[in-house]
Structures are given as C-alpha cells and as structure tokens.
Amino acid sequence: MTRFEIELKKGNFVCSECKKCNQLVWPPSEFCSKCFQSVTWRQITPDAKLVEFSKKGDQIFCIAEFEDGIRVVGTLDTKHYDLKIGQSLLLTECGFNGSERFVFKIKTQ
C-alpha cells in the first residue's frame, strides 16, 4: 500500500505537496510529477465542489473537486435532489479497502 492509501484507510485524506512548485501532486507520489523534487505530506481541506453527479437507485455518485483541482469519485449522502453543479460539498468520510472510498454531504452555511 502507498502512504496515501494507508492514511486513507485511517480516515485521513492526505496528499503530497511540492514545496518548489507550491502545488499538490495528484495522483499522490513521493516525488513531484513536474520537477521530481521530494514532497511533503499534508491533510487536504475537506471542502469540495460538485463537478458531476449521477443517480443509481438510491445512491448518488459524484465527482468532487478539492483545492488545486484535485478530483475524486465518491458518493453523496443527501436527501436533496435539486443538486447543482458547483455546489459546495464537505468530505465526511474516507477510507480504503482495495479501492478508494469518499463520502460527501452538501455543505450548508
């Protein structure tokens, strides 16, 4: 397992960041994909935006975008069906069990 997966399994959504490029490296890696410098790891801010969604039975699948344009596929835990692209989401749960798992809810002010 990668460091990213180990942390994800513990419920920590972390990503590598290049101090030289001042950018998160996605997909996460021990080295920056642009300048090949070593990276530091840090927690990702749980705020995201809804990029895309689709309904399958009772479940809503979504693509959410975090800081620095990081995008993940997850599920949206909501009873609201008037979803809008660009809506603010909050990451409430993450995990790893062979594949990545991200659960979001709609962020209310």
Residue whose structure tokens are 């993450």: 94
Out of 18, 24, 91, 94, the residue judged to bind Zn ion by CB under 5 A: 18
Within the chain, residue ranges assigned H as helices are: 3-9
Size of the site for Zn ion (CB under 5 A): 7
Asked whether 16 and 28 are in contact (CB, 8 A), the reply is yes
Residue among 18 and 89 whose Cβ is closer to Zn ion: 18
Give the distance, in angstroms, between the CA of residue 66 and the centroid of all CA atoms in the same chain.
6
Out of 8, 15, 24, 32, the residue judged to bind Zn ion by CB under 5 A: 32
Task: Please tell me whether residue 19 binds Zn ion under the rule CB under 5 A.
Answer: no
Out of 12, 35, 45, 61, the residue judged to bind Zn ion by CB under 5 A: 35
Task: Please tell me whether residue 21 binds Zn ion under the rule CB under 5 A.
Answer: yes
The separation between the first and the last C-alpha atoms of the chain, rounded to the nearest angstrom, is: 37
Q: Collapsing DSSP states into helix, strand and coil, what is residue 65?
A: strand
Residue among 38 and 59 whose Cβ is closer to Zn ion: 38
Interface residues with Zn ion (CB under 5 A)? Answer: 18, 20-21, 32, 34-35, 37
